[in-house]
Amino acid sequence: MSARTRISVEEVRHVARLARIEIAEGELEGYRAQLDAILGYMAELDRIDVAGVEPTYHAVAIRAPLRDDRVRPSLPRDEVLAAAPQVEDGGFAVPRVLDT
C-alpha cells in the first residue's frame, strides 16, 4: 500500500463480507477507489486536537423514559407474514441454519 492509499482491495472485500453484501470481483477496485477518495478527504480530522473532548453520541440529552408496562395488541400475524418472502407454519422461513 502506498502512503496515499487508505484502503486496499483486500479490506474492501473484508468490509463487504462483514456488511453481508456480495461484491463481484470486478467491482471491488471501483469501490476501493471511491472509498479511498472519501477516506482521504476525512483524513482532515487527523489535524484536529480533541484531547479532553467528550464524544457526542446524541445531540439532545434525553433520559430513557419509562412507560406503563401494559399488554397491548400486536400487529395481526397474517398481515405481517403477508409481506414475507417465504412463510412456513406461521413463521418466517429461511434456508436451513442447523444440521439435524
Please report, as ranges, the residues that interact with other proteins according to CB under 8 A. Answer: 7, 11-12, 15-23, 31, 34-35, 37-39, 41-42, 44-45, 48, 50, 53-60, 62, 64-65, 67, 75-76, 79-80, 82-86, 92, 94-97
**Shortest distance, CB of residue 41 to other proteins, whole angstroms?**
6
| 7 DSSP β-pair partners | none
Name the grid cell of 94.
429461511
Find the shortest distance in angstroms from Cβ 2 to other proteins: 19
Residues 6+ apart with CB under 8 A from 84: 92, 93
